[in-house]
Amino acid sequence: MGFIPISIDKYVKKHLKNNPSENEKDLRSRLDYALKSYENGERCSCGNDIWVVGSAAVGNSCFTCITGESHPTDDYEIESAVKKRESTKGRRYIDEIDKTKIHGFFDDDGYEINTDLIKKPPLCVTCIKDDDPNEELLCNMTRYDQKDELEFKCFAYKKR
């Protein structure tokens, strides 16, 4: 399961229906601020992407830190924040980089992988290997390999 994508307008309409005392202008302002923070790469203190809808209510944090739940089930997220953003610097191709300055990680097609932009699924936060620098490479490559999958599966997962 994952987030249910929703436009800001539709979310505001649903939210105001369930919370009639909420100020629409204030809600839109908080959503815009949270979305801009997300687009600028701001992350939760745990390292995950912020949850825009939840962050508009309680400040910039991820779904797990806000709700205490590992996975969203019937939870909304602004549609432009559901799909992980690509690198704002663009993706450099290995053949276009000076050979003496090649470092880091590249995908099978030869494009640079920015490990700062690899989404960390909630499952990873509960794994004993999450903060282990010796496991960081394997964890990042596993996450990158499954970046377009609906459900994240890690065969090296060990609960804390």
Domain range summary for the chain, segments of one domain joined by +? 4-82
The pLDDT-based confidence of 134 (bands split at 50, 70, 90) is very high
Q: What is the DSSP string of 107-133?
A: -TTSBEE-GGGS---HHHHTBTTTT-T
pTM of the complete model beyond 0.75: no
Is residue 5 helix, strand or coil?
strand
pLDDT tier at 84, thresholds 50, 70, 90: low
pLDDT class for 1, splitting at 50, 70, 90? low
